[in-house]
Amino acid sequence: MGMRGSGEGAEASGPQDGGAPQPAPPDGAGRGRRKAEARTPRPAWIAARAAPFVEHLAAERGMSPNTQLAYRRDLEDYLRRAGPDADVRAEAVRGYLAALQQEGCAPATLARRLATLRAYGRFLAEHGESAAASRRLEGAGRVPEPPDPATALDDVPRPALRPALPRVLSAAEASALLEEAGGAAPRALRDRALLEMLYGCGLRVSELVGLRVGDVDLRQRLVRCWGKGGKERVVPFGRSAAAALRRYLRDGRPALLADRPGGGRADPLFPGRRGRPLTRQACWMIIKAHAAAAGIQRRVSPHVLRHSFATHLLGGGADLRAVQELLGHADIGTTEIYTHVNADHVRRAYLGAHPRAERRASAPREGAGDAERADAPAAPPEAPRAPRGAADPDRRSRGGMASRTSS
């Protein structure tokens, strides 16, 4: 994906007195601002200041291209507002965040902008760029006492975030979505396999579009993917996904490629029109179309299917650590958000296990009346099963996995 313009906020002139960056007037929604700025040429000095930082994110921190793009947009927006003499100072960053807040930026956006500038400050300290910035300020007639850029923003408070519960589909909605994608046409076979992999494996959309033919082992029902930071993991999938993949690889994918080459193990599993990997935007449109056809009123995205995968696993009794490994989360705290969605499951576990619970969650005793049977908790909805041994990293890390993609 080509790197486009900077982040949110319209272009504004730099500060007149070396203070905080001047606010830019809001010009609509964030997405509209980004599109408008993508058409605005970047000054050469901004590109020159941002390029080494982005290279550092890729080479030394192993960030994904999408994360690099987000950080680059954030930094370029700050530099555009602060001017050519911009430095990472607490007072300037506080003014920058205040301006963004006045423009209506969400707390999550403000937190990411601050994280970007803190990372940029550490980069300046590690690579000796702060001295060059000081010389630029001295040449402008100001002799500063520059703080250490690695710690200059430690006292800037992080915007308070309100954790939002993930949006998920019910088990019935997920089943309806998958069934709606049935059919024998090549595109229908592709869409069904794509949806099965998203919901059955909990993959991120960037992980899905990055899959190669050789990453799938149909015999062992495993898929190898690369997550954030290039971290590799192996995720199992069920019989339904395996059947959909076999049909797609046998009948759908060859027809979609037509006369173009693309049958090798290193070729994209889900190619687009020109044989290149399907784009994230194309995946989103595929899901949106099938969700509408299935009568699902809410907004469905690839990440909603990932949320549904995790929530349904926990609702079916899966171990939290196993779900963490399946999702590729570095911190289990990220996975714990899904436990809040499963309040009903927690209640059933309490009623079924605690000796002082008013009513057990097991089947009603023999001879129980209709009222007692009616009060018994319902069984949890059908959900993906936790794979045996999913939490065992030695079991997951199979070196030299031989992929067999034929039926």
- Side-chain half-sphere of 171: how many Cα atoms within 13 Å? 13
Catalytic (active site) residue 340: no
Of residues 25 and 238, the one with the higher pLDDT is 238
Which pLDDT tens digit goes with each residue over 44-77? 888 888 899 999 888 888 888 888 899 999 999 9
Among positive and negative, which fits the CA dihedral 354, 359, 364, 366?
positive
Token reading at 203:
């993959």
d(CA 386, CA 249) in angstroms, rounded, equals: 26
CB within 8 Å of 367: residues ≥ 6 apart? none
d(CA 119, CA 117) in angstroms, rounded, equals: 5
Query: Rg of the chain over CA atoms, in angstroms?
Result: 26
Specify whether the CB–CB gap between 302 and 204 falls below 8 A.
yes
Specify whether the CB–CB gap between 148 and 125 falls below 8 A.
yes
Question: Domains (ranges, CATH) in the chain?
Answer: 1-162 (no CATH), 171-337+387-396 (1.10.443.10)
CB within 8 Å of 351: residues ≥ 6 apart? 357, 358, 359, 360, 361, 377
Neighbours of 230 (CB within 10 A): 9
d(CA 326, CA 310) in angstroms, rounded, equals: 9
Report the pLDDT averaged over residues 206-227.
94
Token reading at 10:
């319209």
Of residues 191 and 86, the one with the higher pLDDT is 191
Give me the pLDDT at residue 266, please.
85
Virtual torsion, Cα 80, 81, 82, 88, nearest 10 deg: -80
Virtual torsion, Cα 239, 242, 248, 251, nearest 10 deg: -80
Q: Is the pLDDT of residue 14 over 70?
A: no
Active-site residue (options: 233, 338, 348, 396): 338
Which pLDDT tens digit goes with each residue over 296-330? 998 999 999 999 999 999 888 899 999 999 999 98
Catalytic (active site) residue 338: yes
Active-site residue (options: 212, 221, 280, 303): 303
Catalytic (active site) residue 303: yes
Which pLDDT tens digit goes with each residue over 147-183? 555 555 666 666 665 666 788 999 999 999 999 998 8
H/E stretch holding 222:
strand 222-226
Virtual torsion, Cα 134, 139, 141, 143, nearest 10 deg: 30
Catalytic (active site) residue 224: no
Closest CA to 405 of 278, 251, 256: 251
Among positive and negative, which fits the CA dihedral 307, 384, 187, 246?
positive
Token reading at 48:
């020159």
For tokens 């990055």, name the residue.
210
d(CA 301, CA 177) in angstroms, rounded, equals: 12
Active-site residue (options: 94, 212, 228, 360): 228
d(CA 232, CA 61) in angstroms, rounded, equals: 15
In terms of residues, how long is the chain? 407
Q: Tell me, what DSSP letter sits at residue 135?
A: H
Give me the pLDDT at residue 200, please.
94
Q: In the sheet where 222-226 sits, what is the strand order?
A: 216-217, 222-226, 232-236
Helical segments of 248-399, H only = 253-257, 280-293, 302-315, 320-327, 332-335, 343-353, 370-375, 393-396
The letter for the amino acid at 9 is G
Which pLDDT tens digit goes with each residue over 379-392? 444 445 554 444 44
pLDDT band at 287 (very low <50, low <70, confident <90, very high): very high
Q: Is the pLDDT of residue 217 over 70?
A: yes
Active-site residue (options: 34, 246, 329, 360): 329
Token reading at 242:
């395996």
Give me the pLDDT at residue 17, please.
38
Catalytic (active site) residue 78: no
Catalytic (active site) residue 329: yes
Give me the pLDDT at residue 10, please.
33
pLDDT band at 353 (very low <50, low <70, confident <90, very high): confident
